[in-house]
Amino acid sequence: MACFLVPAAEAVVITVIKKSVKKKEISKINLKSDDGVPDIKTETGLSWSRKLNWLTNLLWGGVFLLAIEHIWHGEVVLRPPFLTAMNNPENIAPMLHEIATVGVSMAIFVTAIWSVMVLVSDYLYKTTAAFKHAMGEE
């Protein structure tokens, strides 16, 4: 009914955090170019703004396509109150239940997958860097 609202709320929060992190990284890192974007590499690996960018892309992308699906099924309309469940008081409780169960699960699941992705990419980055370093020494 409106399960995508929870990932949408998370996407808003993460986007704000990402912009804040990006500003901090720009101030810390010496930019090699003048394009205003922090370099991909930091001393510890991939930058956090890039990692958070993956999460915001996952969340906003998912929310957008789920909104299309909800419009398709007539659960969301492009006029107030936007959610068709809001027109009937009997449907409000099931809608809130779905938001609390399916919506929260979606947000947690996407964030969990992103966490695994961050761990794997950090591991690959470190091993590749170590590999390149070893090759350079040889």
Partner 1 sequence: MYLLITFFAAIIATIVWYVQMPKDPYKVSTLSFMYWGASLMWLVDGFFCIAEGEPFLEMSFKDALLGFTAVICGLIAWMTILLVKGDKINFFYK
Q: Residue 16 corresponds to which tokens in the numbers above?
A: 């704000």
The HSE-up count of residue 89 (CA atoms within 13 Å, CB side) is 0
Which one, 21 or 58, has the nearer CB to partner 1?
58
> What does the angle CA 78 – CA 81 – CA 84 come to, to the nearest 5 degrees?
80
105 binds partner 1 (CB under 8 A): yes
**Amino acid in position 99:** I
Query: In the block, which residue shows the tokens 């999460």?
Result: 55
* Interacting positions 113-132 with partner 1 (CB under 8 A): 113
Nearer to partner 1 among residue 9 and residue 60 (C-beta): 60
Task: Tell me, by CB under 8 A, how many residues bind partner 1.
Answer: 24
C-beta separation of 71 from 3 below 8 A: no
Within 36-75, which residues bind partner 1 (CB under 8 A)?
54, 57-66, 68-69, 72
Binding site for partner 1 (CB under 8 A): 3-4, 7, 54, 57-66, 68-69, 72, 101-102, 105-106, 109-110, 113
